[in-house]
Amino acid sequence: MEHAKHIVRAVLILVVVATTFVFVRSLATPRSFGMYGAYRFDSVAEYAAAEPVHGAPGACAECHEEQTKALSGGKHASVSCEVCHAPLAGHVTNGEQVGPMPVRRSFSLCANCHHRLTARPKDFPQVVLAEHLATSGSTLSEGVCLECHKAHDPGI
């Protein structure tokens, strides 16, 4: 064991390096890292903590019974209120009214779903706007669709 001191030194240096590495690593690694995999578990909770902007189904019906009734009985029953209006959060937050809910009457809103496109399913109600207006004798204006069709219960 002539060279014992060299071995002791090398081992000593190795131990110091290893412990320093473990120490620095423990400081640099977030607390919840590695709980369920190679990621920070707290991030999951951060995502879950965000507040929904769109309301739960039936949230509108709590106040707007009449409109909900008209909607649920008609062809637009499958259309969520917020599709044509706006997300609930801009109107009601925590049960308090925080702003007005937009009411859009533009024909372009209707056209989004109902102007004729080849790619649309054939059995979906769709019109070429110019032709449709010609048959009904109307002229193109902002709220032209609503002259004949009720938005909540379009009656077609």
Partner 1 sequence: MTQASSSHSLPSRCTRREFIERGACALGAGVAVLVIGPAAVGSGSTATQPTATAPGAYDWTKHKYVYVIDTRKCIGCGACVRACTRENDVPPHYFRTWVERYQVSRTGDVNVESPNGAMDGFEPEVTGDDVTKAFFFPKLCCHCTNTPCVQLCPVGASYRTLDGVVLVDQKRCIGCGYCVQGCPYGTRFIHPVTHTASKCTLCYHRLTRGLTTACVQACPVGARMLGDTKKVGDRVAEIIATERVQVLQPELLTEPNCYYLGFSREAR
Q: Which residues bind partner 1 (CB under 8 A)?
A: 12, 15-16, 19-20, 22-23, 26, 30-33, 35-41, 43-54, 56-57, 76, 78-80, 82-83, 86-87, 111-113, 115-121, 124, 128
CB of 97 vs partner 1, minimal distance in Å: 19
What is the torsional sign of CA 142, 150, 110, 99? positive
Do 88 and 57 meet the contact criterion of CB atoms below 8 Å apart?
no
Closest approach of partner 1 to the CB of residue 119, in Å: 4
Smallest distance, partner 1 to C-beta of residue 15, A: 6
Q: Is 133 helix (H, G, I), strand (E, B) or coil?
A: helix
Complete DSSP assignment for 31-73:
TTBTSSSSSBTHHHHHHHTSPPSSPPTTTGGGT-HHHHHHHHH
110 CB-near residues (< 8 Å, 6+ apart): 145, 149
Closest to partner 1 by CB, 130 vs 139, is 130
Q: For the chain, what percentages of helix, strand and coil (3-state, to nearest 5) are there?
A: 45, 5, 50
Q: Name which of 24 and 63 has its Cβ closer to partner 1.
A: 24
Residue 12 is given by DSSP the state H
Q: Indicate the residue among 52 and 143 with the shorter CB distance to partner 1.
A: 52
Nearer to partner 1, 36 or 69 (CB): 36
Q: In this complex, which beta carbon is closest to partner 1, that of residue 76 or of residue 152?
A: 76
Q: Which amino acid is at 154?
A: P
CB of 126 to partner 1, least distance (A): 8
- Least Å distance, CB 92 to partner 1, is 15
